[in-house]
């Protein structure tokens, strides 16, 4: 290209953690697309060659050596064509760094080392990486590029140093996981960097699921002044070619495609579908099963699973007892039929009676209660795990965030399973998500369009059906009240006094707080699940199991 033009190919792709050769093959394919398109440089996200986050795997010297060897080989394979920028580890002396490798002409021509290491929410990078001095810009053809790696662009010192040392554009490779509202936060911060430096900025984000985290892509480019020049899709792999031209005021990005951004309901749903799809695919699992109770939570999980891997790969199992209503049986059948999933029925009365008989000498003279109720749930877990073992189908759990928060679930019963898409979705959002899915269908959904969750399932009072006429509200505050309290206590870390000042009853707030702390031991043993917020249970919120402190406000 002429000296006043530069084409940058952005590869918003989905790596698999630890699949070094597969990730390198993806990088080579993207580089080839850029080469065909006449690119000067092809860029991939932060730590792409290893996948992200590696957690303590990156501390293994053998893994470090393998990753760096793959990058050196990638430089040779991509010698004849555009430069390639790709994230990966770098070891220098006793230091291990989160690095961005610049490959050109068969060689490693530069490495940019991450300066600011995040140590909040799901990140504890200082545990594994060393903070490096700020790296300067590097030249590719006519252009001097500054690369603040992810967190480095959230602080003004790195971008200011790059601008002062001659950078003409900023290329920011990221492994930034999804959380509700995170996209707006990213854009606002990057606009600040653009205004401060007066440089164009490209924000290139990873896409795909890794354990509980979902990287949502949504890469974009900004021109000086903050105008949007490119918007890539969210939650989907994409490659875009972005042209820069140099004029009297310096380099500018030419206007490219601006993909529309879906609303928060669609983004949450897509996150749950993608996280489950990748958790299965990257683990080598092709089929799932779940207990379909006729209630709203299991119905939503069945829909998510069908959209993730197709209804033909989803087995639903109804496990009725004599407390199961006819309505629930009919509703479970209606959900499975609407989705096109297989439905098996395995009654639990016989196993329950057998367990009751075995325990009768020890339980003699004691009134039936919670222990007998939980036997039913644990028998369901046992039977579902037996099916999982027999047929190689991973069991999904179906508890929502409200239940997970207060421990309204049975350990080794309905908590049994390998993954929980609803783990960070409050019950009140479950209702609205079901309504959204009934009204919307997208090309990335493998399940059927239309009303897949009957309105009666959404509208009926929630019940565990472990005793006659049981309702959730017999044991818990109404879900709108419970979720509002939990959102303040868990998501916003408010004190009891602050929650009460917002209009909630003191006794109810204290009870909910006690349930949250008291359920920590259950959450410690629970299945991983999709992270939708910055207050998800696991890495975002790390509390002790044994804890006698309670807020006396």
Over residues 306-312, the mean pLDDT reads 98
DSSP 202-260: EEEE-EEEETTEEEEB--EEE-TTS-EEEEPPBSS-EEEEEEEEEETTEEEEPP--BPP
Q: Domain of 72: which CATH number?
A: 3.60.110.10
Q: Are 248 and 397 in a shared domain?
A: no
Q: Do 78 and 145 fall within a single domain?
A: yes
Last residue of a domain, one of 260, 289, 320: 260
Q: Which of 46, 125, 236, 403 is catalytic?
A: 46
Report the pLDDT value the prediction gives residue 358, as an integer from 0 to 100: 97
Q: pTM, whole model, 2 decimals?
A: 0.95
Among the listed residues 26, 78, 125, 150, the single catalytic one is 150
Regarding whether 319 and 246 lie in a shared domain, the answer is no
- Confidence grade of residue 7 (pLDDT, cut at 50, 70, 90): very high
Concerning whether 423 is annotated as a catalytic residue, the answer is no
The residue among 238, 260, 282 that closes a domain is 260
Q: Considering 220, 245, 260, which residue would you say is the last residue of a domain?
A: 260
Judgement on whether residues 413 and 367 belong to the same structural domain of the protein: yes
Asked whether residue 489 falls in the same domain as residue 387, the answer is: yes
Please report the pLDDT score of residue 301 as a whole number.
Answer: 98
Is the pLDDT reported for residue 401 higher than 70?
Answer: yes
Q: What is the average pLDDT across 116-130?
A: 94
Q: Give yes or no for residue 1 having a pLDDT over 60.
A: no
Query: Is residue 401 annotated as part of the catalytic site, yes or no?
Result: no
319, part of any domain:
yes
Q: CB under 8 Å, gap of 24 or more: what pairs does 504-510 form?
A: 508/477, 508/481, 509/485, 510/550, 510/551
* 111 in any annotated domain: yes
Q: Is 316 a catalytic residue?
A: no
State the pLDDT confidence band at 475, using cuts at 50, 70 and 90.
confident
Give domain status of residue 215, yes or no: yes
Provide mean pLDDT across the span 116-127: 94
- Per-residue pLDDT at 436 exceeds 80: yes
Task: Specify the length of the chain in residues.
Answer: 553
* Mean confidence (pLDDT) of the chain: 96
Q: Is the pLDDT of residue 464 over 80?
A: no
Residue 278: give the domain boundaries.
267-524
Q: Write the pLDDT tens digit of every residue in 222-280.
A: 999 999 999 999 999 999 999 999 999 899 999 999 999 999 999 999 999 999 999 99
Whether residues 350 and 225 fall in one domain = no
Residue 146: per-residue pLDDT? 98
Helix (H) or strand (E) holding 7: strand 5-12
Asked whether residue 546 is assigned to any structural domain, the reply reads no
If asked whether residues 181 and 110 sit together in one domain, one would say: yes
Which residue carries 């975002």 as its tokens? 540
What pLDDT score does 461 carry?
Answer: 86
What confidence tens digit (pLDDT) does each residue in 406-429 have? 999 999 999 999 999 999 999 999
Whether residue 359 has pLDDT greater than 60 = yes
pLDDT band at 286 (very low <50, low <70, confident <90, very high): very high
Same domain, 275 and 228: no
Asked, for residue 535, whether it belongs to a domain, the answer is: no
Same domain for 256 and 384: no
105 and 154 inside one domain: yes
8 Å CB contact between 117 and 125: yes
Does some domain include residue 542?
Answer: no
Q: Which of 114, 282, 401, 522 is catalytic?
A: 114
Same-domain pairing of 235 and 303: no
246/316 same-domain check: no
User: Does residue 547 lie within any of the structural domains?
Assistant: no
Total domains, the chain: 2
């Amino acid at each position: 290209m002429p000296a006043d033009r530069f084409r940058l190919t952005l590869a918003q792709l989905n790596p698999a953690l630890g699949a070094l050769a597969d990730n390198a093959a993806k990088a080579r394919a993207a580089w080839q697309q850029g080469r065909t398109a006449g690119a000067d440089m092809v860029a991939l996200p932060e730590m792409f060659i290893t996948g992200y986050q590696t957690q303590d795997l990156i501390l293994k010297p053998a893994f470090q050596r393998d990753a760096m060897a793959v990058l050196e080989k990638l430089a040779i394979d991509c010698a004849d064509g555009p430069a390639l920028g790709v994230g990966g580890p770098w070891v220098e002396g006793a230091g291990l760094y989160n690095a961005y490798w610049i490959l050109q002409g068969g060689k490693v021509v530069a490495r940019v080392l991450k300066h600011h290491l995040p140590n909040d929410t799901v990140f504890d990078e200082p545990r594994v990486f060393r903070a490096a001095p700020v790296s300067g810009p590097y030249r590719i053809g006519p252009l001097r590029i500054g690369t603040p790696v992810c967190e480095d662009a959230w602080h003004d010192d790195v971008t200011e140093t790059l601008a002062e040392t001659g950078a003409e554009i900023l290329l920011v490779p990221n492994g930034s996981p999804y959380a509700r509202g995170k996209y707006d936060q990213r854009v606002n911060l990057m606009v600040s960097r653009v205004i401060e430096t007066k440089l164009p900025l490209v924000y290139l984000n990873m896409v795909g699921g890794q354990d509980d985290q979902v990287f949502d892509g949504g890469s974009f480019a900004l021109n000086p002044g903050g105008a949007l020049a490119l918007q890539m899709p969210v939650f989907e792999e994409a490659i875009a070619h972005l042209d820069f031209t140099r004029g009297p005021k310096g380099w500018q990005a030419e206007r490219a495609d601006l993909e529309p951004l879906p609303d928060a309901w669609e983004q949450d749903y897509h996150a749950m579908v993608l996280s489950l799809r990748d958790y299965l695919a990257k683990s080598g699992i092709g089929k799932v099963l779940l207990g379909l109770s006729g209630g709203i939570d299991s119905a939503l999980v069945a829909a998510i699973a069908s959209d993730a891997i197709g209804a033909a790969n989803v087995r639903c199992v109804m496990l009725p007892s004599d407390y199961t209503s006819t309505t629930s049986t009919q509703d479970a059948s209606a959900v499975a039929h609407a989705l096109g999933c297989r439905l098996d029925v395995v009654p639990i009365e016989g196993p329950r009676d057998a367990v009751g008989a075995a325990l009768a000498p020890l339980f003699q003279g004691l009134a039936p209660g919670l222990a007998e109720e939980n036997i039913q749930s644990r028998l369901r877990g046992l039977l579902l795990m037996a099916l999982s073992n027999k047929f190689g189908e991973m069991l999904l759990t179906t508890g929502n965030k409200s239940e997970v928060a207060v421990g309204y679930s049975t350990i080794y019963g309905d908590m049994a399973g390998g993954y929980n898409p609803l783990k960070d979705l409050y019950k009140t959002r479950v209702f609205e998500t079901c309504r959204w899915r009934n009204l919307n269908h997208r090309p990335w959904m493998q399940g059927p369009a239309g009303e897949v969750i009957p309105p009666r399932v959404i509208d009926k009072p929630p019940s565990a059906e472990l005793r006659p006429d049981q309702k959730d509200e017999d044991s818990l505050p109404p879900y709108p009240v419970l979720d509002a309290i939990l959102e303040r206590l868990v998501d916003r870390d408010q004190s009891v006094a602050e929650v009460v000042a917002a209009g909630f009853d003191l006794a109810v707030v204290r009870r909910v707080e006690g349930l949250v702390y008291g359920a920590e031991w259950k959450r410690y043993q629970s299945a991983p699940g999709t992270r939708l917020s910055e207050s998800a249970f696991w890495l975002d919120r790390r509390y002790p199991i044994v804890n006698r402190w309670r807020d006396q406000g």
